[in-house]
Structure 1
Amino acid sequence: MPQLPMICIVDDDVSVLDSFAEMLTLEGFDTQCFNDATALLTFLQKMPNCVVLSDVCMPILDGMQLLARLQNFDAELPVVLMSGHGDIPMATQAMREGAIDFLEKPVSPSVLIERLKQAQRQRKSVLARREQSLSKDDKAIIERLVVGESPVIKQLHEQILVLANADVDTLIYGETGSGKDVVARALHDASRRRNHPFIAINCGAMPENLIESELFGYEAGAFTGAKQRQMGKIEAASGGTLFLDEIETMPLTAQIRLLRVLQERSLERLGSTQSIPVNIRVIAASKDDLQTTSEKGLFRLDLYYRLNVASLKLPPLRERGDDILMLFEHYCQLAAERFQRGCPAIRAHHQEKLLHYEWPGNVRELRNIADRFVLGIEGDGFSLNHQSTDIDELPLDKFDQKLEDYERKLIEDSLMTAAGHIGNAAEQLKMSRKTLYRKMKKFQLDKQTFRA
Structure 2
Amino acid sequence: MSRGAQILVVDDKQSFRFMVKGYLEDAGYQTNCAAHGVEALAKLEQSPFDLVLSDMVMPEMDGAMLLRKVRSLHPQLPFVLFTAHGSIDSAVAAMKEGAADFLLKPLNQAELLVVVERQLEHTCLQVSYNRMLESEQEKFSFQNLLSTAPIMGRVLAAAQKVAATPRTTVAIFGESGVGKEVLARAVHIASKQDMTRFVAINCAAIPETLLESELFGHVRGAFTGADRDRQGKCSRAEGGTLFLDEIGDMPLSLQPKLLRLLEERTYGKLGSDQQVSADFRIIVATHRNLDECCQQGSFRRDLYHRLNIFPLTIPPLRERREDIPQLTEHFLNDFRQHLGKALPGISQAALNLMLDHDWPGNVRELRNLLEYASIVTNGELIQPEHLRLQLAPLDHEESDAGRVMLNFNFSAEEFSLDAVNRRVIEWALEKCDNNKSSAARLLKASRKLFY
What is the aligned partner in structure 1 of residue 290 from structure 2? 290
RMSD over aligned Cα atoms: 2.8
Counterparts of 1:205 and 1:330, CA distance in 2: 30
1:382 maps onto 2:359 in alignment:
no
What is the aligned partner in structure 2 of residue 182 from structure 1? 182
Distance 1:381 1:253, change over 3 A: farther
Contact 1:139-1:190 within 8 A present in 2 as well: no
Structure 1: runs of 5 or more not aligned? 1-137, 394-452
Counterparts of 1:341 and 1:225, CA distance in 2: 50
Counterparts of 2:387 and 2:312, CA distance in 1: 32
Counterparts of 1:148 and 1:163, CA distance in 2: 19
**Aligned with 2:223: secondary structure?**
coil
TM-score under structure 1 length normalisation: 0.53
Distance 1:294 1:165, change over 3 A: same
Distance 1:179 1:141, change over 3 A: closer
Counterparts of 1:233 and 1:212, CA distance in 2: 10
1:156-171 correspondence to structure 2 within 5 Å: 156-167=155-166, 168-171=168-171
Contact 1:170-1:309 within 8 A present in 2 as well: yes
Counterparts of 1:141 and 1:381, CA distance in 2: 29
Counterparts of 1:376 and 1:383, CA distance in 2: 17
Distance 1:379 1:243, change over 3 A: farther
1:259-298 correspondence to structure 2 within 5 Å: 259-298=259-298
Q: Which whole-Å deviations, capped at 9, do the CAs of 1:44-72 have from their partners, x for residues lacking one?
A: xxxxxxxxxxxxxxxxxxxxxxxxxxxxx
Residue-pair matches, total: 255
Contact 2:138-2:144 within 8 A present in 1 as well: no
Counterparts of 2:360 and 2:239, CA distance in 1: 37
Counterparts of 2:226 and 2:388, CA distance in 1: 45
Structure 2: runs of 5 or more not aligned? 1-136, 378-384, 392-425, 434-451
What is the aligned partner in structure 1 of residue 146 from structure 2? 147
Counterparts of 2:288 and 2:388, CA distance in 1: 25
**Aligned with 1:205: secondary structure?**
coil
Shift of residue 370, structure 1, vs aligned partner = 1.2
What is the aligned partner in structure 1 of residue 225 from structure 2? 225
Counterparts of 2:374 and 2:281, CA distance in 1: 38
Which residue identity lines up with residue 226 of structure 1 in the other structure? Answer: A
1:326 maps onto 2:321 in alignment:
no
Which residue identity lines up with residue 183 of structure 1 in the other structure? Answer: L
**Aligned with 2:239: secondary structure?**
coil
Q: What percent identity do the matched residue pairs reach?
A: 40
Counterparts of 1:210 and 1:141, CA distance in 2: 30
Shift of residue 153, structure 1, vs aligned partner = 2.0
Q: Which whole-Å deviations, capped at 9, do the CAs of 1:218-238 have from their partners, x for residues lacking one?
A: 111111111111100011101
Distance 1:141 1:198, change over 3 A: closer
Counterparts of 1:171 and 1:200, CA distance in 2: 14
Larger radius of gyration: 2
Distance 1:169 1:282, change over 3 A: same
Counterparts of 1:195 and 1:182, CA distance in 2: 13
TM-score under structure 2 length normalisation: 0.53
Q: Which whole-Å deviations, capped at 9, do the CAs of 1:9-48 have from their partners, x for residues lacking one?
A: xxxxxxxxxxxxxxxxxxxxxxxxxxxxxxxxxxxxxxxx
Which residue identity lines up with residue 382 of structure 1 in the other structure? Answer: L
Shift of residue 166, structure 1, vs aligned partner = 2.5
Counterparts of 1:298 and 1:319, CA distance in 2: 29
What is the aligned partner in structure 2 of residue 207 from structure 1? 207
Which residue identity lines up with residue 159 of structure 1 in the other structure? Answer: A
Shift of residue 262, structure 1, vs aligned partner = 1.1
Shift of residue 345, structure 1, vs aligned partner = 2.2
Counterparts of 1:380 and 1:251, CA distance in 2: 39
Q: Which whole-Å deviations, capped at 9, do the CAs of 1:340-380 have from their partners, x for residues lacking one?
A: 22224211111111111110100010010111111017899
Which residue identity lines up with residue 162 of structure 2 in the other structure? Answer: L
Counterparts of 2:193 and 2:291, CA distance in 1: 29
Contact 2:239-2:280 within 8 A present in 1 as well: yes
Shift of residue 321, structure 1, vs aligned partner = 2.4
Shift of residue 305, structure 1, vs aligned partner = 1.0
**Aligned with 1:144: secondary structure?**
helix
Counterparts of 1:141 and 1:298, CA distance in 2: 33
